[in-house]
Amino acid sequence: MSGDSDDKYVITPNYVRSCITSALDEKVKGLIIDIDSPGGQPVASSDIAGYIKNIDVPKVALVHDAATSGAYWVASACDAIVANEMSRVGGIGVLLNHFNYEERLKKMGVEYDGFKAGSTRTWEGSIGSSQMRRGR
């Protein structure tokens, strides 16, 4: 998962598995995973991290400018993470900002009837949370 931000290629779980498998033999005492990435898709990141975690040699993630989001997930599968003090490392999750129009719409006489399903659904949209109904 290395390369400049201008790179036009995608690293897939199969590609990583193929590279590591071809490099591993009884002489290999450890792996250095070179990472410089803002992240990637959750499933691919999980697949790559799972594969790396199950390799039976010491593993070190070497971070250049960034290992955030899915790239951090991959780095965390290693035994150690080595990074410059200026590297961006971490940040698994989602940040979403939105405007709340609830009061403005009330003044205009507009009613909102939202719906959410599942106990882990927490984002109510830009209307507000007071009108949300719980689903099944």
Q: How far apart are CA 29 and CA 35, in angstroms?
A: 20
In the chain, count H helices and then E strands.
Answer: 4, 6
Q: Is 69 a catalytic residue?
A: yes
Length reported for the chain:
136
Q: Write the single-letter amino acid at 70.
A: G
Sign of the four-CA dihedral 121, 126, 127, 130: positive
**Residue carrying the six token digits 């780095």:** 75
User: Rounded to the nearest 5 degrees, what angle is found at the Cα of 29, between the Cα atoms of 25 and 34?
Assistant: 95
Which of 5, 37, 45, 69 is the catalytic position?
69
DSSP string, 15-26: HHHHHHHHH-ST
* Residues catalogued as catalytic: 69
